[in-house]
Amino acid sequence: MKRVIDQTATADAEGFADASFSATVITWQKQHGRHALPWQQTQEAYRIWLSEIMLQQTQVSAVIPYYQRFLQRFPDVATLAAAPSEAVMAHWSGLGYYTRARNLHRCAQRIVQDYAGQFPADPVLLQELPGIGRSTAAAISAFAYGTRAAILDGNVKRVFARVFGVDAYPGLRLVEELLWRRAVALLPQNDIGSYTQGLMDLGATLCTRSKPQCPACPFKSRCVALATDRVSDLPVRKPKKTVPEKHTAMLLITDGDRVLLEQRPDSGIWGGLLSLPEIPHLLDEESAALEEMLGEVVMRFGVARDYQRLPPFSHGFTHFKLHVAPYRINLLHRHAVVEQGGFVWLAADEIDNAPLPAPVKKLLRVL
């Protein structure tokens, strides 16, 4: 707590303190904010932590069904910690950003091992756990324990940038440091839960990235961006970079109603999930080299009857775009070996519950 007090003193000295700001947020949240989200009906740190991790870079509407299914399978931190990683990944499949799921599992194990299954209330201790950053730690502690700690997620940065006219890219280190100081200085003395939720709600429902509802905003009379006609310009966008593009060929090797899948390494895209085997994508798809590569892969598992090129698709990641050329290979005969070197045969009726990347699962469902 001392760290927060010291930061507040520094931020106050810079002129960031404004008690009217937090009062406005709290009043608005109690009257117009969100109150019916599943994770708002509890102060249990486990459920709040789970929701905060799932909500990172994911919309509320997408999170709710995953959150509910996850809790049915893993109702408490001990159950999650004891579960096999495959089960955790399967229940996360389709939600994206799979590093979150691996960190979630590791964090649960740390909570059980180091804290006897009880989440610490101190945001500094929470921040030391896998997958929990400073803002997430503050949110968990504020909602579960009423700790006076500042959040600064993407929604809050957008609200601050517009209301206070922050005319610089928030991702720059110096700008982000100043935003943190402002966030700490603006903390109310009481009702931290309503204030924290209110900041989130403002950014998610009114001060949205596109089509913000400025007439309904409680800060419309003091918003610098609105007064200077810069709502669409703030926050300043990250300088554009060329998005790298990668290409791969995925092999859908089938034997009747079973499809061959490969366990991906823990690191990298789709880490820890099952996916289709891949080979380098060749631009000349009718070349003898392609047939040779297909043959080398298939011969490990059986004798090919035929192969067919399927419609290509693309999938966007945070830092690059992946272009996939899928090929379906039907086997005439499958070798007797059921599993080898990280490969496994999966029946069609097992697809829905398997830990598969969303685009791969979609492809298999269609076929």
The label of the residue with tokens 């691996």 reads 102
φ, ψ (nearest 5 deg) of residue 321: -115, 130
Can you say how many angstroms the Cα of residue 14 is from the centroid of all Cα atoms in its chain?
Answer: 34
Q: Specify whether 52 is catalytic.
A: yes
Closest CA to 206 of 28, 349, 23, 7: 28
**DSSP β-ladder status, 278-279 and 302-309:** unpaired
Structure-token match 């554009």, residue found: 240
Q: How many CA atoms lie within 13 A of 79 on its CB side?
A: 10
Token pair for residue 198? Answer: 């209110």
Using the structure block, give the residue that is written with the tokens 């940065």. Answer: 157
Q: What share of the chain is helix, strand, coil (3-state, %, to 5)?
A: 45, 15, 40
Beta strand 274-275 with 302-309 is unpaired
Choose, from 52, 286, 291, 292, the residue flagged as catalytic: 52
Burial code (b: 16+ CB inside 10 Å, e: under 16) for 278-304 equals: bbebeeeeeeeebeebbeebbeebbeb
Here the tokens at position 75 are 């109702």
Tokens read off for 176: 């982000």
What is the number of residues in the chain?
367
Strand, coil or helix: 302: strand
- Nearest-angstrom CA–CA distance, 22 and 335: 67
SS3 345: strand
Alpha helices in the chain (DSSP H): 2-13, 19-32, 45-54, 60-73, 77-82, 85-92, 99-115, 123-127, 134-145, 154-164, 173-185, 192-201, 224-227, 288-298, 358-366
Beta strand residue intervals within 256-301, DSSP E: 258-263, 274-275, 278-279
Alpha-carbon gap, residue 233 to 225, rounded angstroms: 8
Q: Which residues are catalytic?
A: 52
